[in-house]
Amino acid sequence: MRDCYIVNGQVYIDRTFVNKTVAIHEGKIEILDAATKVPEGACAFDAAGKKVVPGFIDVHTHGSVGVDVNAATAEDLEKICKFVATKGTTSWFCSVLTDTKEQTKWCIDEFKKHKAMESEGANLLGIHLEGPFLSTEYKGAMPEHLLMKPNMALLEEYQKLAEGNIKYITISPEVEGIADDIPAMNALGITVAIGHSGADYDTSWKAINNGAECCTHTFNAMKLLHQHFPAIMGAALESDIYCEAICDGRHLHPGTVRLLIKTKGIEKVVAITDSIMAAGLPDGNYKLGVNDVVVEDGDAKLADTGVRAGSTLTQDVALKNLLAFTGRPLEEILLMLTENPAKLLKVFDKKGSIADGKDADLVILDENCDISEVFVGGKRIIG
C-alpha cells in the first residue's frame, strides 16, 4: 500500500486537537511533527481548516441500505460495510436478532465468508447476538417463541462455528440461571450486556458483579427507575458499566441524553445506531429479522404493534445530534463514538484513537462536522 500523508489538519490526539501530520504506512498510523516535509511525489491530503478524528465504531446495528443482518449474505454484509463507511463508521459489529438455530448458524457462516473477503468498506469486526436469552416481558422486536432459558452448550456451539468471532451478547438478568453463566460467556471471549429486561435491582447487580459490562440501548426496552424499586435502570446508572445510547432524538429525549452523560460520565456512554435495513433508504415497509417493520418519517415501528423497532440512524448524524443535544465540545463527544466502544469491545489496542502503530481508520470532518474524507486501514473510501 502506498504511503500517504494527511497535512495541515487539526488532529485528535489524547482527547484534544493538535497541529500534526499523520502519515499512513502499510495501513498504520505514524504521527509526525506538523513541519515534517512530505516526500516528493508522495500521496498527500490537505486537511487545512478540517479536523482529523478516529473512525467511528458501531457496536450495535441490524443493517442498512436494504440489508437485514439476519438475512444477509456475505455480499450483503459488504454492502453495509461500504455504506456505513461513507457515514464515518470504519468498524462495526453485526447484530443478529433472536432467530432460529438454523438461521443463526447461517448468519455466522455468512459472516465467516465475508471475513475471508477483502472488504472495500468498514471493518466488520465481529458478531453481536441480541438474544436469545431474553425476557418475554421486554422483548421489543424479539420473536417471543424463540426466546429461551440459558443454554451454554448452544452458545458454545455458536462460538465454535464462529471461530471466536461472537464478541458481544445481550442477555436479560432475570432469565433463570443466566447471571451464573456470565463468567462462562466471558471465558468464551464474549462481552456481556444486559437489556430487554424487567430485572429488579439486586438481580441486575448480580449480573454486573458476575461480569456484565454494558447496558443495551439504555432506557429502551427495560424497566425504568422508580424511587422505591430502582430495577435494572438504577443498577445500570449507579454501576460503572458502559451504557449504549441511541441518539436519534426519538429513542431518547435530548434531556435524557444529557442526564445519561452527566450520570455515567462521558467515558461510559457508547453511541450506537441500532439501525435496521431502512437506514439510508426512504420511508416504507421493511424487515427486522422475522418482523415486518413500517418506517414513517424515518421512524421504524413494528407493523403489528407499533412498538419502535430499531432506527434509521447513522453515526455521522448521531455525532451532530450529540453536539446539538448536549452543547459539549467535539473533543468530548467523540469519545462516545470512538474510544468508548473500542474499549468496550476490547479493540482499543488497534482502534478508537489516533496513535502511533494503530490502524489508520480515520475520518476528516469539515467545519460543520460533516464527513469530508474517510480512510479504513489506510485506504481512502470517500473524499
Q: Which pLDDT score, from 0 to 100, does residue 229 have?
A: 97
Cα separation, 139 vs 14, whole angstroms: 40
N-term to C-term CA, the chain: 18
Q: Point out the catalytic residue in the list 274, 316, 359, 361.
A: 274
Q: What cell does 156 get?
A: 458454545
Q: How far is CA 35 from CA 21, 32, 108, 354, in A?
A: 8, 8, 48, 19
> How far out from the chain centre does Cα 64 lie?
13
Q: Which pLDDT score, from 0 to 100, does residue 207 have?
A: 98
**Residue 185 burial (10 A CB sphere; 0-12, 13-18, 19+):** buried
Per DSSP, what are the bridge partners of residue 96? 129
Q: Which pLDDT score, from 0 to 100, does residue 2 have?
A: 66
231-238 vs 201-209: helix crossing angle, rounded to 10 = 40
Q: Which pLDDT score, from 0 to 100, does residue 290 have?
A: 85
Q: Which pLDDT score, from 0 to 100, does residue 26 have?
A: 94
Q: How far is CA 4 from CA 26, 40, 350, 353, in A?
A: 9, 12, 19, 18
Q: What cell does 117 get?
A: 473477503
Per DSSP, what are the bridge partners of residue 20? 33
Q: What cell does 179 get?
A: 447471571
- Mapped onto helix, strand or coil, the DSSP state of residue 7 is strand
Q: Which pLDDT score, from 0 to 100, does residue 289 have?
A: 86
Cα separation, 283 vs 281, whole angstroms: 7
For the chain, domain boundaries: 4-52+354-382, 56-344
Listed in sequence order, the residues at least 6 apart from 160 whose beta carbon sits closer than 8 Å to its beta carbon are none
**The residue to which cell 458478531 is assigned:** 127
β-strands 51-54, 362-365 pairing: antiparallel
Q: Do residues 57 and 361 make contact, with C-beta atoms less than 8 angstroms apart? A: no
Q: Do residues 291 and 330 make contact, with C-beta atoms less than 8 angstroms apart? A: no
What values do phi and psi take at 92, rounded to 5? -155, 165
Q: Do residues 362 and 53 make contact, with C-beta atoms less than 8 angstroms apart? A: yes
Q: What cell does 199 get?
A: 430485572
Can 33 be counted among the known catalytic residues? no
Q: How far is CA 302 from CA 16, 142, 287, 305, in A?
A: 42, 11, 9, 6
Q: How far is CA 146 from CA 27, 30, 178, 239, in A?
A: 42, 48, 16, 30
Has this prediction a pTM greater than 0.85?
yes
- Mapped onto helix, strand or coil, the DSSP state of residue 70 is helix
CATH number corresponding to 56-344 = 3.20.20.140
Class of domain 4-52+354-382: mainly beta
Q: Please check whether the two domains, 4-52+354-382 and 56-344, share a CATH topology.
A: no
Alpha helices for the chain (secondary structure H): 74-85, 101-115, 152-161, 178-187, 201-209, 231-238, 254-264, 315-326, 330-333, 339-344
* C-alpha closest to that of 159 among 133, 126, 182, 183: 126
pLDDT < 70: residue spans in the chain: 1-2, 383
Q: Which pLDDT score, from 0 to 100, does residue 1 have?
A: 58
* Residue 32 identity (one-letter amino acid): L
> How far out from the chain centre does Cα 171 lie?
17
